[in-house]
Structure 1
Amino acid sequence: MPSHLSRLVFRRLLANEPIVYRGCVRRRQYSSVVRASKSLRPALTPDGVQGLPVQQARSFFNLNIFAKKDERKEADMDPGIDKMMELAKRQRMSARMPPIEDVVLAITQFVTAKRKHRKAMKDTQAQYVLQSLRYYFKAVKEKQDQGEALPHILGPAELRKTAKVLMLEGEPLSAAHTELAALLYEETHAPGQPRLLKTVMIAYVKMLSLTGSTSQARKLVLQWEKDNAASESSSSQIEEVEAENSDLAEQDEMVDYMLDPTSLRAWSIVLQGFALEGNDAEVQNTLARTIESSAISPRVARIMLEYSLRRDDLAGVKHWWDTYRERAMELPSPDIHSATRMGQQLLQVLKWCLARNHLDTGHAIVKEVMTTNPSKAVWDAIFVWAAGTKRSVDEIDRMMTVMEKSNGTISDTAQWRTPDVATMNGLVEYAISNNDPYMAERFIALGRDRNIEPDTQTYVLQMDYRLSVGDVDGALIAYKNLQSMDLSSNEDAKTVNRLVVALCKSQRHDFDTIMNVAGDLSDRRIRFEPDTVSALSLLHLNRDEEHDVVDLLNTHAFHYASGEREQVRSTLVNFCLDPSTSTSQAWQAYNTTRTIFDETPRDVRTELMTSFFTRERTDMGVRVFQHMRMHTRADTIPTVDTYVACFMGLAKLRDIESVEVVHNLLKLDYNITPTTYLRNSLIVAYTACGKGRKAMSFWDDIVASKEGPSYNSIHVALRSCEKSPFGDWRAKDLWQLLRRRNVELDQALWSSYVAALAGNGDNDLAIGTVEEAEAKGELEVDSFLLGSLFAGAGGQVKQTEIEAWGKEKYPEQWAELEKFGEDSDEVGMRAFRIDRRVAP
């Protein structure tokens, strides 16, 4: 049996899950468990009795064949996050807060889970922890002021663990991380807790230094040294005790600091912060401060070496490489700075020399490290240097032979240096970085000649460079070869994610092929990258598999940082906004987005609402608006602009019921103060729906308001008069008001006014007004004015009269108007294609 099938079988057995194979040709005949489907022909049971038909459908994240189709996976979150999200929602709603015991339990569960799996906090998670701790500390102070006891509190141990989780690396830092560290520092900055304070202080310094606030971190360290000068002498002993009591991963984290006092550890973090900011003056000042307190540690030397590499400082690279190498070799224990780390730093320096064409420097460094008996990791770096300096594969092969012969001088056979698969992978990776897949294949062949078989990393590299050149089928072959390897360390996770995305985008591979690869990732509980989730979501949406999309997002979306969630959300939103997407699919995608991505901001929701208006589905657009209206987030609930966008969209579709629904919601919305801009949109909406008199009531509100009317208000009011019974009377009164107030009457206002006069059938008055104003020099008759007058005329007969007058009186302007072309509606009313739209 193939190895990947063996793994599949054992995974199912260990998880107590059924083994389902959709390709079984005898399943229909012998299955006693059938699924109902009206669209399939009834099947025969083993007894020959006609039974219900069978339709086997693969469910991506639920392999239980007995599950109901409508069952959906619950949102998969880290422990405690759901309670913290509930607290945040109640705070937004000003509702009753949860018991403090529940908040303490949620924080404890979350921190414990993060420490167990050694996973850093996402920015969204840091925000929830920050809100929960703020609520907790506030509640504690209130209880203490009232003299009440608190049986459930977060003690020093829990707060220290929170600070240590905050320092875990692997996620981009945000303002929430820094604020959380600041809160912990403020609440624990008290005498009697030196060990707790040191951990929290280091966490705060690290957050500040890595988020661009290194100057503030420097002030914090100086203040801490001033306050704790007496206890500093015992800090190294405390650090050693912490290292002894930490788990293995924490020992790796403490490795660089076990010989340094706490202040030097903090100063090294500050040094790294200034180096990342590129602040050379502060880097030199902090370095001098560090050297004054102690000798240069390997960590400080490494920070300065990487700083010099980023600045392309050749002299600095030479100096700090020598310093780092000397300090690393002086360490008493090889476990502190292993040969592997030395080889990694050497490889980094040599690659920099190759990229910057500093070959002489690279040759000098290689010659120097070869004077001693270098470790295998150093040899591996030298082989890459040889490949970068155009040594052939055969020459590198001879160098490997030289390395093997040098083992005769080493008595301990465990220390012998022999090329292995790591050596070959380093060479293959360098060839790929230079876009030389041919050389990469030659190095793989060299490994086979030396009886070095490819490992997981080799096939991962093969997949990488094949995907980079668009060879999806070649990457799929490498993936199949990968299935026979040990994948327990999940080295292939990111590359297989890339493969899934490439398969989805290729449009040449069938659904089962894609699901087999994605299913393998799911079975191994590997993290799906945002690109993978986006690609699979589109795949399921195009197949109308809404349940699979929801299950997919519930499984992965709540483990993403805010930027990653936004990436997936944008994919779904763009799918909704795509005109080629059917309305039903767009609505399903919107509902999924609203359910999973509750943080979707107002502008995105408004764009979705407008898109449904464009699809002429006012019911869906209004529903999107109502969802915003019922939301609790301040950045999501509708504003004046949202109401205006909704009214303008409804005006185009002339849906009076929807306009009245939204208007009623506006009346109940205490967050909105009516403005002229908002009332203008109401005039436009009610006018478009044939409710001119109702629309003019808002003009009265505008006139009576403190803000008063704008030019757009005058335009929309005149348009309302144009569509209202006896609107010409209101138009004349309004026009006289404008004259009394000495309002500047431009060409556009004249066009709206004469159209309002003609709107109620009085062509003589409208034509007479135009001729009189032209004679007085108050307006100039152009094609837009004639087109407005023609569009405002009430009835086909009246339009004919306007047309005859215009052709006779202004033949040139009318000929120009006819160039625009015209449209007619269902009752035969015509209108030239001039832009008479008015903004609210």
Structure 2
Amino acid sequence: MPSQLTRQVFQRIISNEPIVYRGCLRRQGFSSIAHAHDGRRIYLARKCALPVGRRHQRRTLFGLGGMFRPKAPRDSREANYVPGIEKMVEFEKRERMKARLPPVEDIAEALRAFIKHKAVDWGYINDTQAKLVLLSLRYYLQELAKLGEGGSGPSWELGAHLLNKIAGGVRKSMLENSSQAHVDLARLLSDEFANPKYSANNAGLGEELYIASLTCSGRTDEAKKFLLSATAERSSRNVLGPDGMGKDVEGDASESADLRRWDYVLRGFLKENNEIEALRTADLLRARGLGLTMRITTDMLMFYTRREDLKAVMLWWGECNALAQSLHAFQQPAYHTAVHEVLLWCLASNNLRFGHQVVKDVMVSNPAKPIWDAVLVWGAGTKKSVDEVGRMLDVMERSNESIPNEADWRVPDAATVNALVRYAISQSDPYMAERIITLGRKHRIEPDAETFVLQMDYRLSVNDVDGALIAYKHLQAQDLSANSDVPAVNRLIVALCTGQRHDFETIMSVVADLADRQANFEPLTVSTLSVLHMNRDEIHDVIDLLNTHSFGFSTTERATIRKTFIDYSLDSQTTTTRAWDAYTILRSIFDEMAREERTQIMLNFFAHKRPDMAVTVFNHMRQHTRKDTMPDNDTYVSALLGCAKLKDLESMEVVHNQLKIDYNVTQNTHCRNALIIAYSLCGQAREALDFWDEIVASREGPTYNSIHIALRACEKSAFGDLKAQEIWARLRKNKVDIDNSMWASYVGALAGNGDNDLAKSTIEQAEQKGELEIDAFLLGSLMDACAGQTKQADVEAWATDRYPEVWHFLRKKIGWKVEENGMRRMNIDRTVTP
């Protein structure tokens, strides 16, 4: 007989409770402490000494109390919306549903909160946020206009300052990722600033913002027309200068502001690879006396390097160098960038002669430190060894002897080493990069944060994850306040997750460091970590991770994460439970998931043989508020066929009932065909034929598929042969073209109801009249439709005697398989589609 101790041990195991003994000499507990922070979990197994006085044991009824004690649910992290955005999301939803809109004061407060947050650190406004701000601001301005002049007050006034803040954020955003929402928002701000109640500075800001939005979205022609029109309008209001261009007395219409707007236009044409319009714009600037800035000249130079046009590059390099001499702009960053990029292009395109000329041009006088860095990279690119580059560093240091002021010395530093390392990375030469870092140490140049970031990059490029981890550890001792290492750390996390060589704790330690700094997680990082947690069944951690980061991403970035979850859910290796967890996360966090994606997930659950889950996904689509997400005819067809394939009548009727009351969907022939198939496969063939009558009575009428489907329903319906004869007579009366497959469906419907004699005579008569050619598919369909083994034997005997060659081909080449009930099923495809 089992002892009391044995029973207690098993009871504790069953109730998932620890086994404790009051007289234990080593009163220590081991606990797994889960720390949730910024969307990730860190699991630390540690000993925790528990005082004896605080450890109490209690007995419960039969020791099974733990089985009935509910486990405390874990709260997931709330969605990390940017301040103000959540109210805007609610407003957008209400407007879409045509529900009662929130008070305008709430929208104004949401805009204030959003602007206040963005004013701290102007990260770009993504397209999703731009859409919400556009809708909210438009609503606010409309309500403000309804009040008129007398209705404005402190609680209703956003003010020009706050609008300027929105404009500033939009302008920075467009340079990174422009969208139609940015353009529309810029237009709204431009129109609002055109109101006389704002100053001319505001009007100029609005114009500039709209021009920038157009050029960043590939509509530079439109931007140029708008700018010409605005310039002409200003000219008509102000005194014309000697060159015929308006000289606005107001500050924002100054020459520098005008030049800045034309700079947007010129760069827009260059971005669109429109050389003709870019040159015309440059000529227009010269004709108007504005001239070309160093930035414009550099942009033109870079444009022609991308086009591999040596003559044009030489021409614009001359312009750039001459402009630098005339303006004494050798210290401008734009000039330094031009020298560096031109020399790199000469190396890549093998235009070494021109490159040597560029080096000669810039080394005429004692050049600035960034120019020295570019020349050193040129030296490394012209096949000089690392040692020879080291001697060039010595020359650079000796050149300072002729400079009396020590503050003006050109001293090689970490930036010099980093430029050389970047070139080595561009040549896919990590060995050279390592030697350059060693060379820098020999010259007393210690690596800085950027050096270690570059080291992580080239080590990851050769899949040296361990080496990248070492560089990452060295990076921790550097000043990371600028967050320049964040992209590299993101790539390291992805490499750690995908490499499958490092343990979970190592990955989480890197993730924790990034989260503690409140740095940005890139979409790929979020996707990879989500899959890692999903495979560990850590669903709450996935939700926390997504709630923390996903709502700050743009539409495109969210789409990449969404695709990862969809692919994970649809993967054949993913279990049904995990696929359902993935869908639950998708539905709660990615509400924008499209109808097509939801349909794929629904069909996947049918493939998992879980019609209940599939129908739940379908019902969620029905409950949605967006029309582009609600099910359409094709969705209903997919759901009906999925239920039919599994012969799940209950689920199929749920879908059909939804179809009956869905006023957004008008049933067509395609949908009714699916209903016939679904009811037939679910054993309700008689009811299925009612939909055939609806098809015949509809304006659209039946298709050839409808006829096949109806005859197949007759095959499985009681007294279906009578309905089949009725359908056949109608076809013959209307002189519908009938092919062999249609004859096969008809005789199958007759044989399915046991009328073999009529089926055989029909075939013989049709053959005699030349209406039918006997083939294997016809006989196979007849054989497959027979009701019982006796009927199949009768058809076999008839076919062997009447059509021996066709039957021999059917038997030997196509064959059949015998089911458990003894029925033979031909290896032919008799499936019908809507």
Instruction: Indicate whether the TM-score tops 0.5.
Output: yes
- 1:563 maps to 2:569: no
Q: Counterpart amino acid of 1:80? A: G
Deviation at 1:408, TM superposition (A): 2.3
Q: Do 1:602 and 1:637's aligned partners in 2 also have CA atoms closer than 8 Å?
A: yes
Residue correspondence of structure 1 range 375-774 to structure 2 within 5 A:
375-774=368-767
| Residue matched to 2:19 | 42
Q: Is the 8 A contact 2:295 2:334 kept in 1?
A: no
Q: What secondary structure does 1:72 align onto?
A: coil
TM-score (structure 1 length as normaliser): 0.89
Residue 200 (structure 1) aligns with: 206
Contact kept in structure 2, 1:821 and 1:833, CA below 8 Å: yes
TM-score, normalised with respect to structure 2: 0.89
| Match of residue 306 from structure 1 | 302
What is residue 281 of structure 1 aligned with on the other side? 276
Contact 2:494 2:528 in 1 (8 A): yes
Q: CA deviation at 1:574?
A: 0.7
Tell me if the contact between 1:761 and 1:794 (Cα under 8 Å) persists in the aligned partners.
Answer: yes
3-state secondary structure, aligned to 1:56: strand
Who is 2:824 aligned against? 830
User: Which position in structure 1 is the counterpart of 2:60?
Assistant: none
The equivalent of 1:135 in structure 2 is 139
- Distance in 1, matches of 2:76 and 2:820, equals 48
RMSD in angstroms over aligned alpha carbons? 2.5
Partner of 1:190: 195
The within-5 A match list for 1:46-65 is 54-57=31-34, 59=36, 61=39
Alpha-carbon deviations, 1:742-783, whole Å to 9, x = none? 111111111111111111111112122112211222111211
1:163–1:400 distance in 2 versus 1, CA, 3 Å? same
Please report how far the alpha carbon of residue 420 of structure 1 lies from its aligned counterpart in structure 2 after TM superposition. 0.9
* 8 Å contact kept, 2:42–2:505: no
Q: Deviations over 1:338-377 (max 9, x none)?
A: 4544322211111011111111111111112111111111
Report the CA distance shift for 1:596/1:46 in structure 2 as closer, same or farther (over 3 A). Answer: farther
What is the CA-CA distance between 1:287 and the residue it aligns to?
Answer: 0.8
How far apart are residue 593 of structure 1 and its match?
A: 1.1
Preserved CA contact (<8 Å) 1:346 1:378: yes
Distance (whole Å) between structure 1 residues aligned to residue 642 and residue 249 of structure 2: 67
Deviation at 1:671, TM superposition (A): 0.5
Change in CA separation of 1:529 and 1:68 when aligned onto 2, cut-off 3 Å: farther
Q: Structure 2 residue aligned with 1:316, among 304, 308, 312?
A: 312
How many angstroms does 1:299 deviate by?
A: 2.3
Residue 172 of structure 1 aligns to which amino acid in structure 2? N
**Count of aligned pairs:** 782
Per the alignment, do residues 355 and 551 of structure 1 end up closer, same or farther by CA in structure 2, a change over 3 Å counting?
Answer: same
Q: In the aligned structure 2, how far is the partner of 1:380 from the partner of 1:525?
A: 34
Q: Tell me the distance in 1 between the aligned counterparts of 2:726 and 2:431.
A: 85
* Residue 69 (structure 1) shift: 5.8
Letter in 2 for 1:197: A
2:292 aligned residue: 296
Does residue 180 of the first structure (1) align with residue 175 of the second (2)?
no
Offset, 1:801: 2.0
Give the match's secondary structure for 1:761: coil
Q: Deviations over 1:644-691 (max 9, x none)?
A: 111111111111111110111111111001101111111110111111
Distance 1:429 1:144 in 2: 60
User: Matches of residues 798-837 of structure 1 in structure 2 within 5 Å?
Assistant: 798-818=791-811, 819-825=813-819, 827-837=821-831
**C-alpha deviations, 1:436-488, integer Å up to 9, x for none?**
22221111111111111222211211111111112222222222222232222
1:42-96, Cα deviation, whole Å (9 max, x unpaired): 3579996989873334546367999966211111121111111111111221111
Q: Secondary structure at the match of 1:367?
A: helix
Aligned in 2, Cα 1:62/1:71: closer, same or farther, shift over 3 Å? farther
| Alignment partner, residue 263 of structure 1 | 258
Which deviates the most, 731-740 or 298-307? 298-307
More moved, 423-432 vs 483-492: 483-492
Deviation at 1:584, TM superposition (A): 0.5
Q: Identify if the C-alpha distance between structure 1 residues 589 and 788 changes in structure 2 by more than 3 Å, giving closer, same or farther.
A: same
Partner of 1:77: 81
Decide whether the 8 Å contact of 1:121 with 1:171 is kept in 2: no
Q: Counterparts of 1:63 and 1:570 in 2: how far apart (Å)?
A: 23
- What is the CA–CA distance in structure 2 between the aligned matches of 1:604 and 1:783, rounded to whole Å? 41
CA shift at 1:499, angstroms? Answer: 1.2
- Secondary structure (helix, strand or coil) at the match of 1:489 reads coil
* Counterpart residue identity of residue 213, structure 1: R
1:222 maps to: 228
Greater relative contact order (CA < 8 Å, ≥ 6 in sequence): 2
1:86 aligns with 2:80: no
Q: Which letter maps to 1:163?
A: A
In the alignment, the residues of structure 1 paired with residue 789 and residue 34 of structure 2 have an alpha-carbon distance, to the nearest angstrom, of 61
Q: How many angstroms apart in 2 are the aligned matches of 1:300 and 1:661?
A: 65
Give the whole-Å Cα distance in 2 for the aligned partners of 1:668 and 1:437: 66
Work out whether residues 456 and 492 of structure 1, in 8 Å CA contact, stay in contact via their aligned partners in 2: yes
Kindly provide the CA deviation profile for residues 13-63 of structure 1, in whole angstroms up to 9, marking residues without a partner as x. Answer: xxxxxxxxxxxxxxxxxxxxxxx9954643579996989873334546367
* Partner residue in 1 for 2:112: 108
Contact kept in structure 2, 1:41 and 1:53, CA below 8 Å:
no
Question: For the residues of structure 2 that align with 1:37 and 1:176, how far apart are their CA atoms?
Answer: 57
Gaps in structure 2 of 5+ consecutive residues: 1-12, 45-70, 239-245
- Aligned-partner SS, 1:805: helix
Could you tell me how far 1:326 is from its partner in structure 2?
Answer: 4.1
CA distance in 2, matches of 1:164, 1:680: 57
Q: Which letter does structure 2 place at the counterpart of 1:707? A: E
1:140 partner letter = L
Identity %: 48
* CA distance in structure 2 between the partners assigned to 1:63 and 1:212 by the alignment: 43
Deviations along 1:789-834, one digit per CA (max 9) or x if unpaired, are 1221112322222223223322222232233343445544331121
CA distance in 2, matches of 1:411, 1:307: 40
Amino acid at match of 1:155: G
3-state SS of the aligned residue for 2:313? helix
Which position in structure 2 is the counterpart of 1:787?
780
CA distance 1:148–1:812, change in 2 (3 Å):
farther
Q: Which amino acid aligns with 2:320?
A: Y
Supply the distance in 2 between the matched residues of 1:406 and 1:50 (Cα, whole angstroms): 73
Distance 2:104 2:362 in 1: 60
AA at the equivalent of 2:74: D
- Aligned counterparts of 2:195 and 2:453: Cα–Cα separation in 1: 51
Q: Is the 8 A contact 2:298 2:334 kept in 1?
A: no
User: CA–CA distance in 2 between the matches of 1:65 and 1:430?
Assistant: 41
The 1:354/1:51 distance shift into structure 2, 3 A limit, reads closer
Structure 2 residue 218 is matched with structure 1 residue 212: yes
Check 1:101–1:828 CA distance in 2 against 1; reply closer, same or farther (3 A cut): farther
Q: CA deviation at 1:238?
A: 4.4
Question: Where do 5+ consecutive residues of structure 1 fail to align?
Answer: 1-35, 240-258
CA distance in 2 between counterparts of 1:766 and 1:639 reads 40
* Alignment CA distance shift 1:46-1:540 (3 Å): farther
